Structure 1
Amino acid sequence: MAESAAHRGAAGRGARSAHALGTPDPRRWRALAVCLIAGFMTLLDVSIVNVALPSIRSGLRTPESDLQWVLSGYALAFGLFLIPAGRLGDARGRRAVFMAGLALFTLASAACGAAQSSLWLVVARLVQGLAGGMISPQISALIQQMFSGQERGRAFGMFGTVVGVSTAVGPLSGGLLIQAAGAHEGWRWVFYVNLPLGALCLLLARRLLPDTPSAGPVRLRDLDPLGVLLLGTGVLALLLPFVQAQQWPGDRKWLLLMPAVALLAAFVGWESRCAARATRPVIDLSLFRVRSYWLGCLLALVYFGGFTSIFFVTTLYLQNGLHYSALQAGLAITPFALGSAVAASPGGRLVHRFGRPLVVAGLTAVVVGLAGAVLAVHLVPGRGAGWAMAAPLLLAGLGSGLVVAPNQTLTLSEVPVATAGSAGGALQTGQRVGSAVGIAAVGSVFFAQLGEAGWATAYDHGLVVAVAFVVAALLVGLADVRGERRGRGRTPRTVTHTHADRTP
């Protein structure tokens, strides 16, 4: 933090003066590149480990329960820290929190790669997830801070490309690393690959990222510790039964949903009380009275329930059902990544012109593409299914590129820059909750069918549930479009920046 204060003389003063004059920071695109590299690292580690699990099992003799925590522990810690880290960045400085999270993520990656036992690896993954949760909300907040107007849509489009590609290309990257380094020790390079990227990002972040104009010294009570505690325990109780759905047999795990609801209700009550007392809450609940924000959060929650579960069941089907290697499974999913990469950047540019109808078009393409993947498995059984799914997954990927970044742009379009971190953290927490619920729901249907009908039928049923989540997101998008047309007649919807661009 002392280093951040010292650096204000260089990056900070320049960014603040540019902001005060209403001129954009000339280093903003280079600063965005730093953010995107860090975002790629943190999101890649959600999916890259999937194909490394057999290698980890053989290398560390890891039991199934610990393997599950290698996956879910990262996602759980990541989701728990998003909103508090966003609030901390808003208050203390996004650059400082970004760099602290990046340093911790890099060290945790080194610890994961050097793990000598499954317990060591699980603990290191928890720390890595926590660090990822520190970094992620700062990225969306920095985009809000550095860009405005159509440039903001372009920046979010590039970030959307990173989200889609990192999620989809993870299995391929993991497969290539394991193929190159060997099945027994190759899993370690899945984590070691973060070290040079992390070190490079830290050096560049120190030079290029701007400080937060509204940030300053804060006391612990200014960060609303009780609100953080209520939110953290509530989200933990909500996520645990979903991320452990396959490992905790029986229905007792769902009893955790009752204290989850109670804790989250207490959090809402406490945050409302903070607002009434003019105390800065963890998240400003008045944001959820903004139509673009709450509908965007709902759409993201439901869409990520289908989006991430696709890769979960597809990887299981290809590797365990069709006996693809890790590399072959990664290659089979690559068309989705390519489609997402191609469409995300244009989507970020076009959202300023078309608004929510662009997201609806993307969701429609995802539904059609996934339905085509279900049909392909029926028409081409056996090991040829991976090839048959390529075209439908490419279409679904193109659609996804028109959903993630444009929805994020629309959702945050009316959020004041001063609260961009906590607002972005809440949006991404919804994505993590949606991912956990989707994987649990799709996984339960998949494994129930597996024992009765075999891999192909189980995959069909799992994809149908994933499609149902995407259809639900499509209905949310259609409701938003219909509501806008009722409220504004037939005037086309555009992204507004009146509130988002104001100086805090």
Structure 2
Amino acid sequence: MGISGTAIALPRIADDLGSAPGLLQWVVNGFNVSFALSTLAWGVLSDRIGYRATFRLGIALSLAAGLASAATPSLVVLDIARAVAGVGGAAVLTGGSALLSNAFDGAARGRAFAIFGTVVGLGLAVGPTLSGALISWIDWRGVFVAHALVLLVALVGTVVLPHIRHRREPGRKVVDFGLLRNPHFLALCLVPVSGAIGFVTLLTYLPVALSGIADLSAGTAGLVMLPMTIPVLIGPLLAARLVRTTGATSMSIIYAALASLILGSVGMLALTPTIPLGWLILPMVLLGFGFGLPVGLVDSEALAAVPADSSGTAAGVLNFVRIGSEAIVVAGYSALLAWLIGRSIADPVAAQDAAAGRFGHPDAYADAFGWVIVTMVVLLVITTAAIALLHRARVAAAR
């Protein structure tokens, strides 16, 4: 919810706290950047203090940040609170995935990660819709109050978690990036990079685009996002069922997901002031499945490739690549879009308002959006080719 449901509040936040483009973008980017930068540290620390303790600390930090975000008097304070939430989120994801990896074995482990992916999909699916509803019913501050309430329930629930900690062997590297020399592990790490390019960018900023191009309210934009977010909820369990019942390989599912991301991104070029929004349904469904099918599957495969006592560190490396790529591409998306809009609108104030999603220059926003989508498609094709080459190298090495 913190990832997918925050950007939809940006136009209303701008109304209350100002539309300074840098500060406004860092409401989203600050979370992503701090998340990425702290995953490695939490990965190493979790192997030492225990995965349950890491998970609890992350929830506590995120809870405090949610309350601070709801009560913020300025964009600066909001940006700081969001950065703290990112640090907490990194601990939650690192500790949680390491707990699952160590607490289950065999088929139960696969099911656990499938459910993990489904719950991630649930959060992404309801994030924009629930946030849009909260903004319509209460205010944008209600979004962060909702974060705090969910986290409070999670904090109480941690009493049932097992305490798992491993002693670190002397002489082992603090952070071992040697795993990235393994073609299979590196290919798996590039899958969420593709998801960041093709899905997370649009998950974050498509509601803003719908406001700037189609003049949709936050609540309506959240509903329009459902065709894109619901498949993320279905995808992880569907992938697990395909592997179990049809004998499909993990890589075949990953290739199908990558193709869906590319085709869905091309279809998003239909978002213009003159084309009905109904034409976006199929591309949005493709993007949702492109992101959702590998969720959980990638984590399970990657953590299975390392010793149990390095689960936290491996999760830190994987999530560093995952969230780091999300931070980079989401920040790059917003910066490129703002630059392109600024080039087509002479008035700097009007350009800032348009980039923030305020309706008034739909053609300029749509033109900039189209060029950003073309850039995304090119990056997706390059990343897909790299994954295919790494997979071929792994197969050749096995032979």
- Using structure 2 for the length normalisation, give the TM-score: 0.86
TM-superposition CA deviations, 1:57-85 (whole Å, max 9, x none): 22334643322222222112111111111
Cross-structure match for 2:166? 214
Whether contact under 8 Å (1:356, 1:407) holds in the other structure is no
**Does residue 364 of structure 1 match 2:259?**
yes
CA distance in 1, matches of 2:185, 2:364: 42
- Partner Cα separation in structure 1 for residue 371 and residue 125 of structure 2: 21
Q: 1:408 aligns with which of 284, 287, 299?
A: 299
Instruction: Report the counterpart of residue 313 of structure 2 in structure 1.
Output: 422
**Judging changes above 3 Å, is the alpha-carbon distance between structure 1 residues 129 and 460 closer, same or farther for their aligned structure 2 residues?**
same
Task: Label 1:446 to 1:110 Cα distance change in 2 as closer, same or farther (>3 A).
Answer: closer
Letter in 1 for 2:185: Y
Query: 1:461 aligned to 2:371?
Result: yes
Label 1:204 to 1:383 Cα distance change in 2 as closer, same or farther (>3 A): farther
Aligned twin of 2:273: 382
Correspondence 1:9-48 to 2 at 5 A? 44-48=1-5
| Partner residue of 2:210 out of 318, 339, 362 | 318
Larger mean Cα displacement after TM superposition, 159-168 or 78-87: 159-168
Pick the aligned partner of 2:133 from 169, 176, 179. 176
Distance in 2 between residues matched to 1:86 and 1:317, nearest whole Å: 35
CA distance in 2, matches of 1:80, 1:108: 17
- 1:142 corresponds to 2:99: yes
- Tell me the residue number matched to 2:352: none
> Equivalents in 2 of 1:142, 1:444: separation in Å?
37
The amino acid across from 1:291 in the alignment is P
Q: Supply the AA of the counterpart residue of 1:205.
A: T
Within 5 A, what are the aligned runs for 1:222-241? none
Corresponding position: 1:191 with 2:144: yes
Distance 1:166 1:469, change over 3 A: farther
Aligned to 1:392: 283
Aligned to 1:127: 84
Q: 1:263 matched to which residue of 2?
A: none
Deviation at 1:388, TM superposition (A): 1.5
Once the two structures are superposed, the pairs formed by residues 20-99 of structure 1 within 5 Å of their partners are 44-61=1-18, 63-99=20-56
Whether the 8 Å contact between 1:112 and 1:124 is mirrored in structure 2 is: yes
- Alignment CA distance shift 1:440-1:69 (3 Å): closer
CA deviation after TM superposition for structure 1 residue 424, in Å: 0.9
C-alpha distance in 2 between matches for 1:446 and 1:307: 16
Write the distance in 2 (CA, Å) between the matches of 1:143 and 1:161.
Answer: 14
- For the pair 1:433 / 2:324, whether they are aligned, the reply is yes
In the TM superposition, residue 488 of structure 1 has moved relative to its aligned partner by 4.5
> In structure 2, what residue type is equivalent to 1:135?
V
The answer to whether the 8 Å contact 1:359/1:477 transfers is: no
Separation (CA, whole Å) in 2 of partners of 1:96 and 1:369: 40
Alpha-carbon shift at residue 473 of structure 1 (Å):
3.1
**Native 8 Å contact 2:32 2:86 kept in 1:** yes
3-state DSSP class of the match of 2:240?
helix
Structure 1 runs, 4 residues or longer, greater than 4 Å off: none
**How far apart, in 2, do the equivalents of 1:483 and 1:280 lie?**
28
Q: CA deviation at 1:168?
A: 4.9
The CA deviation string for residues 459-493 of structure 1, in whole angstroms up to 9 with x for no partner, is 2222222222322332233224433443445xxxx
Structure with larger Rg:
1
AA aligned opposite 2:66: S
Q: Secondary structure at 2:3's aligned position in 1?
A: helix
Aligned-pair CA distance for 1:114: 1.5
**Among the aligned pairs, what percent are the same residue?**
29
Match of 1:337 in 2: 229
**Separation (CA, whole Å) in 2 of partners of 1:405 and 1:387:** 30
Whether the 8 Å contact between 2:198 and 2:262 is mirrored in structure 1 is no
Q: CA RMSD in A?
A: 2.5
Alignment partner of 1:476 is 2:386: yes
Task: Give the letter for the 1:356 counterpart.
Answer: M
Contact 1:168 1:311 in 2 (8 A): no
Rounded Cα–Cα distance in structure 1 between residues aligned with 2:275 and 2:35: 36
Q: 5 Å matches for 1:197-208?
A: 197-206=150-159, 208=160
Q: Residue in 1 aligned with 2:200?
A: 308
8 Å CA contact 2:197–2:326 kept in 1: the answer is yes
Letter in 2 for 1:214: H
| Residues in 1 aligned to 2:335 and 2:18: alpha-carbon distance in whole angstroms | 26
Which amino acid in 2 is paired with 1:107? Answer: A
Matched residue type, 2:188: G
1:115 paired to 2:72: yes
Give the SS at the match of 1:324: coil
Report the Cα distance in structure 2 between the residues aligned to 1:321 and 1:90, rounded to whole angstroms: 47
Residue type matched to 1:361 in 2? A
Structure 2: stretches of 5+ with no match in the other structure? 345-362
